[in-house]
Structure 1
């Protein structure tokens, strides 16, 4: 994957000054207006009564390309060896140090909540030399293809290889796929799957473009997140009343609320980051 999904047209460099994501009449969450941290009271900006600050705020930033020498060289994610999917051989990948830590956190989360203990992560790579259209060029993106142990797949994210499998096998593989995706959505806001486009049929792409160092929450206008939650409801939770539309609709809201109630989660999915995390953990643990 070479690009995060397009969202609002206003885009700013994360390493520069992050400004308001638009001063129109757009709304978020409960219909209120959102501003980024530290901008309330900035001279020259209009002060609008009743503003609320989301937790965390979105960061509309463009990647900042860096040279490989500026990044951390790694041969593992946590305890798991890194293997390049194209060659099938152990390799070195290069990432921003903080992003590498987030990958380690994801794998620890996966091990904790699925009971799987991968000893190998197969990937299509991390850093590539490129432009400001690619989070890979900044060392803040990674493409996951398979989780393996003892030379065998625990979970294959190669949808291109098994999408035509017999119905029973396909159901099993889709459930496993979306349990992995849930862990990735717990840690990363931009998680691109086969539902995003055909170029992601052989891996899941993750990056930190939307929230930077913060962990994600639901953004109701996000097609990527809506598709993912709907796929989890359908393929993991067996909610056949939910369709994968990419729209945050009433059926999706009702299903996720019922699932969170079932697992004693906090409130509704769209209300907080904690609810988002609880839904993803419950999905990972769902047998």
Structure 2
């Protein structure tokens, strides 16, 4: 499988750094935050960090870091490095849930790097914490496949999620191809459930490809460690994938029908997400920090 998207990455030095990487925008004073000054009161940034805003502590499930918040992660431009399956970790579970291959409907083994497997486990624990859903089965279209350097599947750092199940029944189906023509009331319910799952995935992964990306993702959501590698993501305003996802969450989970799904980070999207963060006591605006991004995703998972 080959995934074409907005320069996904793994941690350096897994692949050669791109020389055409755009410069990182400079740190700026956020609307609600303030720059932490040095112990002597000098007007310099202390270790590139920001003070914790008071609103962050009121958002459940977010990492609480006394005093300081780490700076937003920088993008790294690299290519996937294909590996042999024998170099990866063989797994039959994702967290406590059994792994089932969607094509056959049978338990199977999937192969990923240990770090990526741990990230998948962390996502499922996060999903359980904030939705209350206790999946005993995760159905997937797979993880590692033999391939070229254009796919994160070939490096053991990608996963295609199709369903979450418990007691033999779907908790959430990500098979948009099967229910996209459902009656209006059922479609609204399924879309809300779909985008609550997607919010948890966006909390953990920078590259999350849904049915909005292209038709080949209408039967699963693809995730990988692109763009930030081992770091958790933040908003990239030029990212069509992230803008589409946030806009869909605004519409289908938060009922903000004034937000159109354009894939562009526009004023309507900024205004809606700022209002939502204010409603849940989140920190600042979505584009200002990773903490704001996490707060929005946690609140979206919890929304019923």
Q: What's the secondary structure of 2:116's corresponding residue?
A: helix
RMSD, aligned α-carbons: 2.3
The residue number in structure 1 matching 2:140 is 123
The residue number in structure 2 matching 1:5 is 5
The residue number in structure 2 matching 1:144 is 161
The residue number in structure 1 matching 2:256 is 239
Q: In 2 relative to 1, CA 140–16 (structure 1 residues): closer, same or farther, beyond 3 Å?
A: closer
Is residue 2:95 matched to residue 1:64? no
User: How far 1:2 moved relative to its partner?
Assistant: 2.5
Mapped partners of 2:18, 2:163: distance in 1: 38
The residue number in structure 2 matching 1:198 is 215
The residue number in structure 1 matching 2:65 is none
**Corresponding residue to 2:244 among 217, 221, 227:** 227
The answer to whether the 8 A contact 2:83-2:154 is kept is: yes
Aligned counterparts, 1:1-287, within 5 A: 2-7=2-7, 14-16=13-15, 18=17, 22=21, 55-287=72-304
Cα deviation digits, residues 125-153 of structure 1 (max 9, x gap): 00000010000000000000000000000
How many residues are treated as equivalent by the alignment?
265
Mapped partners of 2:27, 2:268: distance in 1: 17
The answer to whether the 8 A contact 1:13-1:62 is kept is: no
Cα deviation digits, residues 184-241 of structure 1 (max 9, x gap): 0000000000000000000000000211000000000000000000000000000011
The residue number in structure 1 matching 2:60 is none
The answer to whether the 8 A contact 2:10-2:228 is kept is: no
Unpaired runs of at least 5, structure 1: 31-51
Q: In 2 relative to 1, CA 161–205 (structure 1 residues): closer, same or farther, beyond 3 Å?
A: same
User: How far 1:55 moved relative to its partner?
Assistant: 1.6
Q: In 2 relative to 1, CA 284–126 (structure 1 residues): closer, same or farther, beyond 3 Å?
A: same
Mapped partners of 2:22, 2:178: distance in 1: 46
Mapped partners of 2:21, 2:153: distance in 1: 27
Unpaired runs of at least 5, structure 2: 29-47, 50-70
Cα deviation digits, residues 59-114 of structure 1 (max 9, x gap): 11110000000000000000000000000000000001000000000000000000
TM-score by length of 2: 0.82
Mapped partners of 2:120, 2:273: distance in 1: 26
User: How far 1:13 moved relative to its partner?
Assistant: 6.6
TM-score by length of 1: 0.87
The answer to whether the 8 A contact 2:14-2:80 is kept is: no
The answer to whether the 8 A contact 2:277-2:296 is kept is: yes
Cα deviation digits, residues 242-262 of structure 1 (max 9, x gap): 000000000000000000000
Q: In 2 relative to 1, CA 213–21 (structure 1 residues): closer, same or farther, beyond 3 Å?
A: farther
Q: In 2 relative to 1, CA 23–2 (structure 1 residues): closer, same or farther, beyond 3 Å?
A: closer
Q: What's the secondary structure of 1:226's corresponding residue?
A: helix
